Chains A and B, each alone.
Chain A
């Protein structure tokens, strides 16, 4: 069996599955249930200054699919609404009872040195394995100058990170907000401040849907609403990209990343790890299904690793990073063409109308009495994948690589690029 244990910037964990800082890690009762269920670690829900935050009623909303599956999840809950004293006491007790699990404490304080200097030693005294700086919470807290308000200003990130490294010996993980133009900037700032790792993504500013009778968004607090933070399956593609951006950035390359965002099963986790994550954090999936899901996640990941011959997490970590590049380095001579397996085709016509209306008119509809047949016109097909995506039958349409006989040639080398030489020169300059 594959070894799932990890050492993430000095934090040891029996498996890479951690619960993210959120309602599931709000108190000892939940965290103990999580550890009993088999989670490798938890990031305790964000601690702040006393008096604790006060929450409103009606806090979550979701984007549902047609079968009531939750596609995306939105919340307007603030950081912990329990006192510092209770949280610290519970963290101490839980860590003592579960020494083999990772216990990281999420923190959010004003951007002043004093409160950090005061609180950090108290957190360290609990025996916790590390701290995570909540620079990502997008709702409520930024209005008070914290959370995402910090995460959107690299200089503040760097300062706070440095204070944490100054007043604590614990590993510092900086949690980044996706509500920013280029996630590499805050990651570089965290690194500059001495961060041991970054974690991302926090939630994305969102309004899921409206009550069109009352003309108010969800979750409605009385007759009004406010934007929340979006998470769940829908945000996974955004999170994967941001993880990859940091993993392949020459400045932050090698900085440990705890991947977060829409991870609901072992495959999601494997994808994050392959794109550069050293651990993964889960919240929405657990909130929808309970802590027991970690069992299937561990089992699935372990069996997949066995089938691929990966003995441990490090064996495939970052393996997809070198294959993630800039558009300009893609091979202009590579060509795929759609192929429809007529034995599998059920003649629904979706590929045809999609290509005909919105793409390249490359799927012909052949009418033979009451029968219909759909065929790819090879010379019109640009290999966009749309037909394969819209086809309801798995494996019916495949994108077949063509033998062009041409060598690798990227856009910087392409004679059709009027600025080919200039781009090439820039690249040389960048490498230098």
Chain B
């Protein structure tokens, strides 16, 4: 996927030494730290943290369970709302969700309870004899789920719980979606994502078929005909284009492709690493890219964004991670031209300085060249349109470049539901995708039952 970088030298050194740079970004709490931190929770009534959680985890309750030494109970409290509670504890931007809502921000301490770390403590230290959730008696129905990412698997797990059988169709070789392929390695180190998928599937009744690519060897109209319902958790697989000449030149790559390769790399030392890297974009993927390429050994890493800090979609916490990892951030500069050397390889980027004129972003006519032998774009993704080209799929109503769904995650097509990053509601967050999948499962269940009764 990153053939365009193969002319670059490998990271070099030893895989083991490099791996150490990708160990846990935030160390886990010790049992003692968890006891002290859980004691800080005020056990709010109608707690704002729970209201801020897209999956509605009863935060006060799980923290009280930790506090009372009932870690297994705490874990179940989390998992019953969010089966990806372990990944979310690591990747959720808690600083804009539960921890931002924590009332402790407003009292004399001025510090939120470390909800994310406590959630991780509960999930990591729980010991279940078997899968903690029971399946309801079989309904005899089978649901197709497309995409084994957080939305699809969350939907599959909840459907299995409700008594349905599920077949999950996954395009890649592994399940997990962005948790496996798209999140920075130091946020989900080791094989955490795979272990979490194994745990989720241990409820039973879920069959995952790998290498099933919608629009290639799998078509919506067939699924619709063969299954009692279909859930589309397609994600956003394709990177947006800058629309510049040279965007496909050697030295130019999409950040998500590089991160996926990095996450699957058996030997980090063999990864191509530019000496000077530019990352274009200002979201969490841009930060993940910039920090990781720096940790792999790039001498200079510059993150360039066409607007100012306040408009960045990366959270303040993420930007701080970039800065403490030596990433230089240039704002108010828009990509203008890919600079190539005589061999046609990337040698840098020319940016046009920008400013807001009457509230609109505009170029100033001033230019800025930044030398680089590797440029990574992280300017967002969109759906892979090839997935939805069969006659039935073409009938899906769209919301911009996403799939339109109602509040129950029903598409316009009866029996077809969708959730996660491929639909419009909410933010493109793992935790949001999990909630979509869960709610869609309940909608599917209710719709099937009410149809059966009618």
Give residues in A with beta carbon < 8 Å to B: 66-67, 346-350, 352-353, 365, 370, 372, 392-394
Does B215 reach chain A (CB closer than 8 Å)?
no
Residues in B with CB closer than 8 Å to A392 are 42, 107
Residues in B with CB closer than 8 Å to A365 are 46
Assess the A353–B45 pair: CB atoms within 8 A.
Answer: yes
Assess the B108–A66 pair: CB atoms within 8 A.
Answer: no
Can you add 18 more A-B contacts, CB < 8 Å, to A350-B42, A352-B46, A370-B48? Answer: A66-B35, A67-B36, A67-B39, A346-B104, A346-B106, A346-B107, A347-B44, A347-B48, A347-B103, A348-B42, A348-B45, A349-B44, A350-B43, A353-B46, A365-B46, A372-B48, A392-B107, A394-B108
What is the minimal beta-carbon distance from A67 to any residue of chain B, in angstroms? 6
Residues in B with CB closer than 8 Å to A372 are 46, 48
22 A-B pairs whose Cβ atoms sit less than 8 Å apart in the complex? A66-B35, A66-B36, A67-B36, A67-B39, A347-B44, A347-B48, A347-B103, A347-B106, A348-B44, A348-B103, A349-B45, A349-B46, A350-B44, A352-B46, A365-B46, A370-B48, A370-B51, A372-B48, A392-B42, A392-B107, A393-B107, A393-B108
Within 8 A of A (CB), among B37-56: 38-39, 42-48, 51
Residues in A with CB closer than 8 Å to B106 are 346-347
Assess the B43–A66 pair: CB atoms within 8 A.
Answer: no
What is the minimal beta-carbon distance from B142 to any residue of chain A, in angstroms? 40
Does B174 reach chain A (CB closer than 8 Å)?
no
- The secondary structure that dominates the A interface is loop
Assess the B45–A350 pair: CB atoms within 8 A.
Answer: yes
Does B67 reach chain A (CB closer than 8 Å)?
yes
Residues in B with CB closer than 8 Å to A350 are 42-45
What is the minimal beta-carbon distance from B367 to any residue of chain A, in angstroms? 45
Q: How far is the CA of A130 from the CA of B107 in the complex (A)?
A: 52
Residues in A with CB closer than 8 Å to B51 are 370
What is the minimal beta-carbon distance from A70 to any residue of chain B, in angstroms? 15
Q: How far is the CA of A59 from the CA of B42 in the complex (A)?
A: 35
Q: How far is the CA of A346 from the CA of B39 in the complex (A)?
A: 17
Could you say which of B38, B47, B108 contacts A349, with CB atoms under 8 Å apart?
A: B47
Assess the A66–B39 pair: CB atoms within 8 A.
Answer: yes
Q: How far is the CA of A346 from the CA of B42 in the complex (A)?
A: 11
Residues in A with CB closer than 8 Å to B48 are 347, 370, 372
Residues in A with CB closer than 8 Å to B42 are 348, 350, 392
Q: How far is the CA of A223 from the CA of B388 in the complex (A)?
A: 71
Residues in B with CB closer than 8 Å to A348 are 42, 44-45, 47, 103
Residues in A with CB closer than 8 Å to B36 are 66-67
Which residue on A lies nearest to B103, using beta carbons?
A346
Which residue on A lies nearest to B51, using beta carbons?
A370
Residues in A with CB closer than 8 Å to B104 are 346
What is the minimal beta-carbon distance from B415 to any residue of chain A, in angstroms? 35
Q: How far is the CA of A347 from the CA of B38 in the complex (A)?
A: 19
Residues in A with CB closer than 8 Å to B67 are 66
Q: How far is the CA of A349 from the CA of B106 in the complex (A)?
A: 14
Residues in A with CB closer than 8 Å to B35 are 66-67
What is the minimal beta-carbon distance from A396 to any residue of chain B, in angstroms? 9
Within 8 A of A (CB), among B91-117: 103-104, 106-108
Q: How far is the CA of A365 from the CA of B47 in the complex (A)?
A: 12
Residues in A with CB closer than 8 Å to B47 are 348-349
What is the minimal beta-carbon distance from A329 to any residue of chain B, in angstroms? 38
What is the minimal beta-carbon distance from A324 to any residue of chain B, in angstroms? 33
Q: How far is the CA of A96 from the CA of B408 in the complex (A)?
A: 88
Residues in A with CB closer than 8 Å to B107 are 346, 392-393
Which residue on B lies nearest to A66, using beta carbons?
B39
Q: How far is the CA of A394 from the CA of B103 in the complex (A)?
A: 14
What is the minimal beta-carbon distance from A393 to any residue of chain B, in angstroms? 5
Residues in B with CB closer than 8 Å to A370 are 48, 51
What is the minimal beta-carbon distance from A72 to any residue of chain B, in angstroms? 18
Query: Nearest 7 CB-CB pairs, A to B?
Result: A349-B45, A353-B45, A346-B103, A66-B39, A346-B106, A348-B44, A348-B103
Q: How far is the CA of A352 from the CA of B42 in the complex (A)?
A: 13
Within 8 A of A (CB), among B128-165: none
* Contact mask for chain B residues 5-45; partner A; CB cutoff 8 A; 1 contact, 0 none: 00000000000000000000000000000011011001111
Which residue on B lies nearest to A356, using beta carbons?
B45
Residues in B with CB closer than 8 Å to A352 are 45-46
Q: How far is the CA of A346 from the CA of B110 in the complex (A)?
A: 11
Could you say which of B36, B39, B107 has the most chain A C-beta atoms within 10 Å of its C-beta? B107
Which residue on A lies nearest to B43, using beta carbons?
A350
Q: How far is the CA of A394 from the CA of B108 in the complex (A)?
A: 9
Residues in B with CB closer than 8 Å to A394 are 108
Residues in A with CB closer than 8 Å to B108 are 393-394
Q: How far is the CA of A372 from the CA of B44 in the complex (A)?
A: 12
Q: How far is the CA of A66 from the CA of B39 in the complex (A)?
A: 7
Q: How far is the CA of A246 from the CA of B103 in the complex (A)?
A: 46
Which residue on A lies nearest to B32, using beta carbons?
A68
Residues in B with CB closer than 8 Å to A393 are 107-108
Which residue on A lies nearest to B46, using beta carbons?
A349
What is the minimal beta-carbon distance from B106 to any residue of chain A, in angstroms? 4
What is the minimal beta-carbon distance from A308 to any residue of chain B, in angstroms? 27
What is the minimal beta-carbon distance from A101 to any residue of chain B, in angstroms? 40
Q: How far is the CA of A116 from the CA of B47 in the complex (A)?
A: 65
Which residue on A lies nearest to B47, using beta carbons?
A349
What is the minimal beta-carbon distance from B453 to any residue of chain A, in angstroms? 35
Which residue on B lies nearest to A394, using beta carbons?
B108
What is the minimal beta-carbon distance from A295 to any residue of chain B, in angstroms? 28
Could you say which of A66, A346, A352 has the most chain B C-beta atoms within 10 Å of its C-beta? A346
Q: How far is the CA of A348 from the CA of B107 in the complex (A)?
A: 10
What is the minimal beta-carbon distance from A64 to any residue of chain B, in angstroms? 11
Q: How far is the CA of A394 from the CA of B48 in the complex (A)?
A: 21
Which residue on B lies nearest to A370, using beta carbons?
B51
Could you say which of B44, B45, B108 has the most chain A C-beta atoms within 10 Å of its C-beta? B45
What is the minimal beta-carbon distance from A344 to any residue of chain B, in angstroms? 8
Residues in B with CB closer than 8 Å to A347 are 44, 48, 103, 106
Q: How far is the CA of A271 from the CA of B133 in the complex (A)?
A: 54
Which residue on B lies nearest to A65, using beta carbons?
B39
Q: How far is the CA of A250 from the CA of B4 in the complex (A)?
A: 98
Residues in B with CB closer than 8 Å to A353 are 45-46
Q: How far is the CA of A171 from the CA of B201 in the complex (A)?
A: 79
What is the minimal beta-carbon distance from A36 to any residue of chain B, in angstroms? 35
Residues in B with CB closer than 8 Å to A349 are 44-47
Within 8 A of A (CB), among B227-267: none
Q: How far is the CA of A370 from the CA of B46 in the complex (A)?
A: 11
What is the minimal beta-carbon distance from B111 to any residue of chain A, in angstroms? 12
Q: How far is the CA of A66 from the CA of B38 in the complex (A)?
A: 9
Which residue on B lies nearest to A349, using beta carbons?
B45
Which residue on B lies nearest to A371, using beta carbons?
B48
Q: How far is the CA of A336 from the CA of B47 in the complex (A)?
A: 29
Q: How far is the CA of A3 from the CA of B347 in the complex (A)?
A: 84
Residues in A with CB closer than 8 Å to B103 are 346-348
What is the minimal beta-carbon distance from A136 to any residue of chain B, in angstroms? 35
Which residue on A lies nearest to B39, using beta carbons?
A66
* Contact mask for chain B residues 50-79; partner A; CB cutoff 8 A; 1 contact, 0 none: 010000000000000001000000000000
Q: How far is the CA of A66 from the CA of B48 in the complex (A)?
A: 24
Which residue on A lies nearest to B35, using beta carbons?
A66
Residues in B with CB closer than 8 Å to A346 are 103-104, 106-107
What is the minimal beta-carbon distance from B91 to any residue of chain A, in angstroms? 24
Q: How far is the CA of A313 from the CA of B191 in the complex (A)?
A: 68
What is the minimal beta-carbon distance from A111 to any residue of chain B, in angstroms? 47
Q: How far is the CA of A392 from the CA of B103 in the complex (A)?
A: 10
Q: How far is the CA of A19 from the CA of B35 in the complex (A)?
A: 34
What is the minimal beta-carbon distance from A68 to any residue of chain B, in angstroms? 8
Q: How far is the CA of A67 from the CA of B39 in the complex (A)?
A: 8
Q: How far is the CA of A66 from the CA of B35 in the complex (A)?
A: 7
Residues in A with CB closer than 8 Å to B46 are 349, 352-353, 365, 372
Residues in A with CB closer than 8 Å to B44 are 347-350
What is the minimal beta-carbon distance from A347 to any residue of chain B, in angstroms? 6
Could you say which of A346, A348, A353 has the most chain B C-beta atoms within 10 Å of its C-beta? A348
